[in-house]
Structure 1
Amino acid sequence: MTSLLVESPAAGEAETLRRGAARVLLGNWMGASTVPSRGLYPHQWSWDSAFIAIGLRHLSVRRAQRELETLLHAQWADGRVPHIVFNPAVPHDAYFPSPDFWRSSSAGAAAGAPAGTETSGIVQPPVHALAAWLVHLADPQDSRRRGFLPRVYGRLAAWHDYLTGARNLGGGGLAATVHPWEPGMDNSPCWDAPLQRVEPAATGSYRRADLDHGQPSERPTDLDYGRYVRLATDYRDGGYADAGAGHAFAVEDPCVNALLIVSEHALARIAAETGADPAPHERRAALLTEALVERLWSPEAGMFLCRDLVSDELIPEKSVTGLIPLIVPGLPQEIVDALIGTAQSTAFRLGEVPMVPSYDFGGAAFDPSRYWRGPAWFNTNWLMERGLRQYGRTAAADRLRAAMLTAAGESGFAEYVDPFTAGARGTRDFGWTAALALDLLVAAERPDEDAQGSGLPQDEAIGADA
């Protein structure tokens, strides 16, 4: 197949796209935060809010600040940032698992769950410090005047302390996830083998509200969902304890830890801005980078792989999660070259298909329509675009950015898209799709605006154009 040639949108198309993205973000705004979608996801989600804030800063810096502050206000005393903050005005039957399932204020009391705000008890990838730094850079004067960074710095530091402390379940320094929902790639084939150990919850013991808004062929199977419910039930009934809890599912994920590293670099910049010492964050970022390479890099696969902590083995499935560490600064050149080679190989076909798929095209579990088992997602491709650009692959980054912008507009800002055709899949008017499309549009028009804004040491952005 010849290389995909996609041009950036013309001025008129760009304005149409900009207006459409703004319409989605303003339409999904709930007064203090943004829902991913009005129907399928009617509450506040953790990493969604971080990505949404990154785009929302181009419309309203104040709203972007509030987006993050609202999420962090629901932080637990142990430092965890829950993956859902529930809107009490939404009926319980509108989404499952609902607040009465998680019982955070009672079951999570020992872990410091807030008494006045109902949340879930699990977490999602730590994009938040990166988002906070980018929001600050959108209007540093307003940020300083309002004391935005001093208000969020302590909470973000506590969040990272939780991930590198209580969640260092493997003992090698990396953060572990204890539920497939935590890495954000819910039904990835990477979880198939670890989930075999989990007895699913009884059929009829819960009702899947997601199927009221999505096609069954595009959502996780009932068997997988039953296992998700079992894991969440066991975690809740154990008081949301981490260390010594005997987790049936415990995994070190490359994307989660790559985002933690990038956010540590961003946190160092936040620390310096607020008068704190950035050195501890830079040291932690360096140690995490060493651990990421030592524990999750596979020279044979040419990419990072997930580690199953129960069996203490790498999981051989090739997912986009293993390419996302391109966002980490200072990787050895041979690893950068291998990652880009794998992205351009028949497994992911970067530059040939519109966007990078969520899973290996040649994998036995590949499905172009079902959630994280093949479709292309805008947040992972946004991270890939930044990684390519960081390591000097500007031509490849430009092509990917143009393809993403085209797909966002033509799909109606879909949750995810078919990896071959970029046809819409999942729900429409999706928050982070609109937000990240808006961010890419601004970046295309003002390429130097975020030159220092990635949270990464710019003198470590190396590599050659490709």
Structure 2
Amino acid sequence: MTPPPPTAAPAVLRTPPSAPVPPADRRTLRREARRVLLRNWTGAATVPSHGLYPHQWSWDSAFIAIGLRHLSPLRAQRELETLLGAQWGDGRIPHIVFNPAVPLDAYFPSPDFWRSSTAGADAGAPRGLETSGIVQPPVHALAALLVHRTDPALSHGRGFLARVYPRLVAWHRYLTAQRDLGGGGLAAIVHPWEPGMDNSPCWDRPLSRVEPAPPTAFRRADLDHGAAADRPTDLDYGRYVRLATDYRDRGYRDRGYGDGGTTPGKTTPATPHPAFAVEDPGVNALLIASEHALAEIATALGADPAPHRHRARALTAALLERLWDPAAGQFLCRDLVAGKLLPDRSAAGLLPLLVPGLPRTVVRALLGTARGTHFGLGTTVPLLPSYDLRGPAFDRYRYWRGPAWFNVNWLMERALRRCGETTAADALRTAALDAAAASNFAEYVDPYTAEGRGTRDFSWTAALALDLLAGPGRDRDNHHDTVLDGEGQR
């Protein structure tokens, strides 16, 4: 059966895709993944790709560390330590840490746009380092725990957990306090780039309120490296720039605007961003998973894990209360400005399968939705698409509007395994490895054919392929079979 045209909502396929990905040569795949990560390493961190993304990205580094631990636990620790070294005084971990050796015109928005060291001074932005001012999903505590498990002796010897734990606690405190813009106990995003699924159709309705920046206000460097058909439209990009500009000009404050709550003797109530504030289920599911990871880290350090477990339970209750839609059979995003759930279905709404303690009825519904006509995982497509296959905005080529992404599928594989869906997890693991091999570690792939899209030799694709190659489930947590020269010793 021929897959549907790129922008059409596809008919339901009853058979597997007509061009399945051939079985990967696992030994070759491991060698090539190692090559990608060595090439993209800069000495202290790993770039997602040298062309399209020449700096350090926040959740990229978390996923990269998860794969790097199989090559060098020490290098994986350094990856996370470098990122956390750019943390702001208010606890936020910025979504980009800029490399000053990279020319300003190589990427937009560049450091001179964000002006973090000056515009973010009141929020505690580092003075000697330029970063962005927004954030990305909190995968970092989970990554730190997995890196520790791979070589506990090295971790203890270097004091790795002891150093990163207080920073991770501050990061979660920022999200649960400063970013609880809806007052319901969940973290909110204030820009479409923050949940990582930058161009998702879930943001179309909230973005429609935003007046775009004029085309003369920016130059899109991404189109120098990627096809326009794969990337966000100029209209959407103009809206992204407008939101980032307004946030910067408010000093990157999350609560209050106008006087920003800084007038002496005056208390400004918590209010959402004037144009865009959304509670995303993927972000909050990862926050809960990482809060459980913090409990394990606290235990390893001899600290009290109870506060983290309590916070995880409170976040889970808020997630169910505010974002679960029984009719949809999945979690949806909540638009805090409009005060209602958004109807669009994205893969983010399935990621709460990672969360321990969900009601069984919710777990069954999520699994049914993942396999059903909207996402077709294991029935119509081999990999989980980023957006509803039947949705009106589905586009199997365009950035986050339908393609399958390796980090999302890695998370889903882990979630399925946690739910006891071993057969489905094994099938997804195989499909992800085959797609990584066939696409030359593409940034993302066509969900029907696994044809590579976006840039190639993408770091998190290579890193997560390494992690999946190490074995199923917890079998891979203690496994590292290749040690980079000089980096396996304490």
- After TM superposition, is the score higher than 0.5? yes
- Structure 1 match to 2:313: 286
Aligned to 1:168: 180
Report the Cα distance in structure 1 between the residues aligned to 2:80 and 2:475, rounded to whole angstroms.
25
Task: Tell me whether 1:113 sits opposite 2:140 in the alignment.
Answer: no
Note closer, same or farther for the CA distance 1:37–1:425 as it changes in structure 2 (3 Å cut).
Answer: same
- Work out whether residues 8 and 402 of structure 1, in 8 Å CA contact, stay in contact via their aligned partners in 2: no
Deviations 1:23-47 (A, max 9, x none): 1011100000000001000000000
Match in the other structure for 1:40? 52
Distance of 1:187 and 1:425 partners within structure 2: 15
Q: Which residue of 2 aligns with 1:70?
A: 82
Whether the 8 Å CA contact 1:7–1:402 is kept in 2: the answer is no
In the other structure, the counterpart of 2:421 is: 393
Change (3 A) 1:129 1:407: same
**How far apart, CA to CA, are the structure 1 residues paired with 2:286 and 2:68?**
20
Q: Which residue of 2 aligns with 1:411?
A: 439
* Counterpart among 371, 377, 388 of residue 344 in structure 1: 371
Deviation for aligned residue 1:330: 1.3
In structure 1, give the amino acid aligned to 2:15: T
* 1:309 equivalent in alignment to 2:336: yes
Partners of 2:15 and 2:155 in 1: CA distance: 46
2:405 to 377, 383, 404: 377
| 2:42 corresponds to | 30
Give the unaligned 5+ runs of structure 1.
453-466
1:53 corresponds in structure 2 to 65
Letter of the 2:27 counterpart: E
For 1:40-439, what aligned pairs fall within 5 Å after superposition?
Answer: 40-245=52-257, 246-247=272-273, 248-352=275-379, 353-439=381-467
Q: Deviations over 1:77-121 (max 9, x none)?
A: 000000000000000000000000000000000000000010000
Is the Cα contact below 8 Å between 2:325 and 2:331 reproduced in 1?
yes
Unmatched runs of 5 consecutive residues or more in structure 2: 1-13, 258-271, 480-490
Report the Cα distance in structure 2 between the residues aligned to 1:431 and 1:121, rounded to whole angstroms.
23
- Could you report, residue by residue, the CA deviation over 1:179-232 in whole angstroms, capped at 9, with x for unpaired residues? 000000011000000001100001111100000000000000000000000000
Cα displacement (A) at 1:4:
7.3
For residues 9 and 439 of structure 1, the distance between their equivalents in structure 2, rounded to whole angstroms, comes to 17
Distance 2:358 2:23 in 1: 33
CA distance in 1, matches of 2:301, 2:117: 32
**SS at 1:26's partner residue?**
helix
Q: Given the two structures, how large is their TM-score scaled by the length of structure 2?
A: 0.90
Structure 1 stretches of at least 4 aligned residues deviating more than 6 Å after TM superposition? 4-8
Residues 383 and 339 from structure 1, CA distance in 2 versus in 1: closer, same or farther, beyond 3 angstroms?
A: same
Q: Between Structure 1 and Structure 2, how many residues are aligned?
A: 449
Change (3 A) 1:4 1:393: farther
Shift in Å, 1:448:
2.7
Contact in 2 for aligned 1:417/1:425 (Cα 8 Å): yes
Contact 2:149-2:478 at 8 Å conserved across structures = no
Please report the TM-score for the alignment, with normalisation by the length of structure 1: 0.94
Percent sequence identity over matched residues?
Answer: 72
2:308 corresponds to which letter in structure 1?
H
| Cα distance between partner residues in 2 of 1:328 and 1:189 | 24
Shift of 1:370: 0.2
Give the residue type in structure 2 aligned to 1:344.
R
Question: Whole-Å Cα distance in 2 between the matches of residues 129 and 195 of structure 1?
Answer: 31
Task: Return the offset for 1:8.
Answer: 10
Cα deviations by residue, 1:421-448 (Å, 9 ceiling, x for unpaired): 000100000010000011000024x863
Distance in 2 between residues matched to 1:212 and 1:192, nearest whole Å: 25
AA aligned opposite 1:204:
T
Q: Distance in 2 between matches of 1:451 and 1:173?
A: 35
